[in-house]
Structure 1
Amino acid sequence: MHSSNGPILCWGEVLWDMFPDGRQLGGAVANVAFHLAQLGAEVQLVSRIGDDELGREALTRLDAVGVDTSLVQVDPERPTGQVNVELEDGEPRYSLSAHAAWEYIEMDDQAAAALQRASFMSVGTLAQRRAEGRASMHAAARARGQGCKLVVDANVRPVHLDHDWLGDLLRMADVVKINEAEAALISKELADGGDALAWLHGEASVELVALTRGAHGCRLSTAANSAEHPGHSATPGGDNVGAGDSFVAVLLFGLSRGWSLTEIAERGNRYAAWVASNKGATPSAGKPKLS
């Protein structure tokens, strides 16, 4: 997979993670965009916020790190999304508000034009939980420019899961990031009990699969090559919110700059460990240098 100079387009949810001690900017796709901008990438976000203070604050925060938010839509009726986050031994448990603005992202003319310029389109799966958002995302994925690679973070929430649309999205993907639980789910529901990575590379024709293992590192694989990293330790006192999203950001950043699989694996784990050492998904202070 060759490096590219086009912008990276992130499509999906922006919301606020509501912790017992305060709120943090969140949403898996917004987190990816945030970290890409911090790393120095040219990144655009297609999302939807409410016409409210939380929405305006989210844009201010994203603008401040360099995310292009000109494609973020404003919903005149629905509110900016929120999710209640509870931590158990540092592991997050999420409870989403219903009918938030991000569930109704539209495929408009501005987004369509941006997709023709983008080098990568990065999506999660949560923004598909309603038919409206799912139709828009799939239309966007099909309409992207010929040189635009589709990067899918499976990021599965079982309560919102439909195996058919998950399979459809994975079959469109050029790059897929999964964790071990998601690999097991793909094996059970899509691969008839077979190996998830073999199904992704074979049946789904995915070019690159990133399997993350939390504190135990990751494995990156193509049909011809692979690289593994044992992981970096997080500093106690943080949480794991957004660590996987930050790994996706480094994966995208590295692919856009032609890094090797070995470089992406090490740097992605190092950056994710830094995020996990902090509270919330979008820290800024003390960001590690990756090159």
Structure 2
Amino acid sequence: MDVITIGETMVLFTPESTMRYSTQFNKKIGGAESNVAIGLARLGHQAGWISRLGDDEFGKAILSFVRGEGVDVSQVKMDDSAQTAIYFKELRRSNDIRVQYYRKNSAASRMSANDLDPAYISKAKYLHLTGITPALSDSCHEMILRAIAIAKKHGIKIVFDPNLRRKLWSEERARKVLLDIAIQSDIFLPGVSEGEFLTGEKDPKKIGEFFLKQGVPTVVIKVGAQGAYYATNEEYKHVAGFHVNQVVDPVGAGDGFSAGLISGLLDQLSLHKAVERGNAVGALVTMINGDVEGLPTREEIEAFVLNQNEEIYR
């Protein structure tokens, strides 16, 4: 197994007009960790997803979809006493995306350390985590800490995207937990606003320096359309983003970035090239409506990068 992810996936409804006036909704699925797993599977890697779903029609639909994308779902448990969560994504304007979650007491919020099989996790090269899962419940937080302990015992690299969700917990609690997990990670992936939330610094270089001093080996700070900065004890560099003519749906771009970056590292690319692949995947995701619909294959990434280079050459 190349990568294992842990987290909640929900049914996603998008209204055809505004939430208040729409009479029709498109149904999709979305969840940061399964997005990353699907992104990696489309790029030819082996990915496993650990989660808990309601034993209802939505849960069965999610399980079928994720399995159909080539992700191993053998560690997903079906819960007949709790429901699968849902959320609504309202695309009002290109710069006005509104998301509303209905996930309290969901099946995934009942995940605990007992849901983890150490032998399964020990087979991975990377463990991908986000700050969403520990925000769901105390038992989910304990599960993530247990997963980190298992990964460290077996020498598995931990990739952590804080994926800050302010609606799920207090700022004080979020800051404390996210910082604690961040300093235990091998690769930390904050957006620049998340870095500011955690450190008080707005400058990507200072954000990187903060976490390097805490012992994090690699920090990658995402700066949206401008790309990303990466910081290690040896170097600090900016990797430019890719031009997108029209952003259709930015939600999920960060998950695409994570998938692209991890894919590059699995392919033993340099950190610079891995970040570049992350930028490319993130850009492609923004051009299609849906959290996973825009996740590309290798061929699509190559064509996209080639087209960018040709445009620059002209």
TM-score, normalised to structure 1, is: 0.90
Opposite residue 166 of structure 1, the aligned amino acid is L
Q: Relative contact order (alpha carbons < 8 A, sep ≥ 6): 1 or 2 greater?
A: 1
Residue 93 of structure 1: aligned partner? 98
Residues 39 and 295, structure 2, Cα contact 8 Å, conserved in 1: no
How far, CA to CA, are the matches of 2:5 and 2:115 in structure 1? 16
Q: Partner of 1:53 in structure 2?
A: 57
Residue number among 14, 31, 55 corresponding to 2:9 in the alignment: 14
Q: Secondary structure at the match of 1:249?
A: helix
Is 2:251 the counterpart of 1:241?
Answer: yes
Q: Which moved more, 1:16-25 or 1:229-238?
A: 229-238
Structure 2 CA distance for partners of 1:228 and 1:206, relative to 1, 3 Å: same
**Alignment-derived partner of residue 301 in structure 2:** 289
Matched, 1:196 2:207: yes
Whole-angstrom CA distance in 1 between matches of 2:259 and 2:227:
16
Distance 1:23 1:220 in 2: 36
Q: What is the number of residues matched between the two proteins?
A: 282
Match of 1:177 among 183, 189, 192: 189
The residue identity in structure 2 corresponding to 1:174 is D
How far the C-alpha of 1:140 sits from its partner, in A, is 1.3
Aligned: 1:260 with 2:261: no
One-letter identity of the residue aligned with 1:29: E
In the alignment, is the contact (CA less than 8 A) between 1:103 and 1:128 conserved in 2?
no
Residue identity in the other structure for 1:146: H
Correspondence 1:215 to 2:225: yes
**Cα 1:262–1:93, aligned 2, differ >3 Å: closer, same or farther?**
same
Partners of 2:247 and 2:9 in 1: CA distance: 25
User: For 1:125, which of 118, 123, 131 is the aligned residue?
Assistant: 131
User: Partners in 2 of 1:237 and 1:229 — Cα distance?
Assistant: 20
Deviations 1:194-251 (A, max 9, x none): 9322121112x11111111111111122111233222112242621010110000111
More displaced 10-residue stretch of structure 1: 180-189 or 125-134: 180-189
Change in CA separation of 1:285 and 1:104 when aligned onto 2, cut-off 3 Å = closer
CA distance in structure 1 between the aligned counterparts of 2:247 and 2:155, rounded to whole angstroms: 42
Aligned to 1:3: none
Stretches of structure 1 that go unaligned for 5 or more consecutive residues are: 1-5
CA distance in 2, matches of 1:73, 1:258: 33
Equivalent of 2:159, from 118, 130, 151?
A: 151
Give the superposed CA RMSD.
Answer: 2.1
Q: 1:62 to 1:248 in 2, by over 3 A?
A: same
CA distance in 1, matches of 2:37, 2:295: 17
Instruction: Provide the residue aligned with 2:148 in structure 1.
Output: 141
Match of 1:167 in 2: 179
Once the two structures are aligned, what percentage of the paired residues are identical?
26
Distance 1:234 1:155 in 2: 23
Matched to 2:145, the amino acid is: H
1:74 aligned residue (72, 78, 87): 78
Bigger radius of gyration? 2
Q: Which amino acid aligns with 1:148?
A: I
1:136 corresponds to which letter in structure 2? M
TM-score of the aligned structures, taking structure 2 as reference length? 0.84
Match of 1:223, SS state, is: coil
